[in-house]
Amino acid sequence: MPLDIVRIPAFSDNYIWLVHDPDSDETMVVDPGDAAPVLAEAEKRGWTISAIWNTHWHPDHTGGNQAIKDATGAPVIAPAAEAAKIPTADRLVAEGDTVTLGKHVATVLETPAHTAGHITYHFADDAALFPGDTLFAMGCGRLFEGTAEQMHANLQRLAKLPPETQVYCAHEYTLSNAIYAHVAEPGNADIAERLATVERMRDRGEPTVPTTIGEERATNPFMRASSAEQFAARRAAKDAF
């Protein structure tokens, strides 16, 4: 059976993802910055959290680790390069490692730039991607601990995934990203159309993620940058936008 993937809003604009395998009855949570809504959602659904998967060390992604561990005994899987910043980690993973939820297998992709040891989880057979703060709908993460060259390479790598791949972003940034994208590529009809759609969705209070790799190829100015230099210019412009 396919994975059940539940969006849990947290803070002002975070999304925590609760992922359940109906066949094994295993459940994991991706980047729980806040434990309370995660534990409440799992209890409501009758699911027991069996693992916590972190993409990077930022507190809005790891702040709920300890409380969920205390409540469920779930181990924390985290990027090896950020072990010192994620003291709750039980298993450290790096490029090419695999993590499982029942029979569903995710491969670890190292995607540094937002943070130095950032990773992404890719379920190839399920066409699902959990990129943390590397890839957003029509955007990407800020370069807090890495370079434009790194992030450009990350996005080009992710762009090669099948277009139907569902991208479970960690933040609701799409409207501001779409407004900038329209400025970056004013002649892109796909961006103009998506901006109008996103505006309507946000006016109704609807979430705009997950997105897909195909949508991002067509409308994400950072993924569409033709070089690291163009990416750097766009990232700097968005930071000041």
pLDDT tens for 161-177 read 999 999 999 999 999 99
CATH of residue 10: 3.60.15.10
Of 122, 152, 171, 182, the catalytic one is 171
Of 20, 61, 118, 182, the catalytic one is 61
Q: Give the integer Cα–Cα distance in Å for 183 and 241.
A: 10
Catalytic, 56? Answer yes
What is the identity of the amino acid at 59?
P
pLDDT tens-digit series, residues 182-220: 999 999 999 999 999 999 999 999 999 999 999 999 999
Q: What is the mean pLDDT of residues 118-145?
A: 98
Query: Where would I find the H helices in 56-188?
Result: 59-62, 65-72, 148-159, 174-184
Catalytic, 133? Answer yes
How many CB atoms lie under 10 A from the CB of residue 5?
17
Residues 6 or more apart whose CB falls under 8 angstroms from that of 25 comprise: 47, 48
Catalytic, 118? Answer no
pLDDT range class, residue 154, cuts 50, 70, 90: very high
Catalytic, 58? Answer yes
HEC string of 43-74 equals HHHCCCEEEEECCCCCHHHHCCHHHHHHHHCC
Average pLDDT across the chain, whole number: 98
Q: Which domain holds residue 92?
A: 4-240
* pTM for this prediction: 0.98
In the annotated binding site, the residues are 56, 58, 60-61, 114, 133, 171
In the annotated binding site for Zn(2+), the residues are 56, 58, 60-61, 114, 133, 171
pLDDT range class, residue 7, cuts 50, 70, 90: very high
pLDDT range class, residue 178, cuts 50, 70, 90: very high
Number of domains in the chain: 1
Quote the pLDDT of residue 101. 98
Phi-psi region of 191 (alpha: psi -120 to 50; beta: other; left: phi over 0): alpha
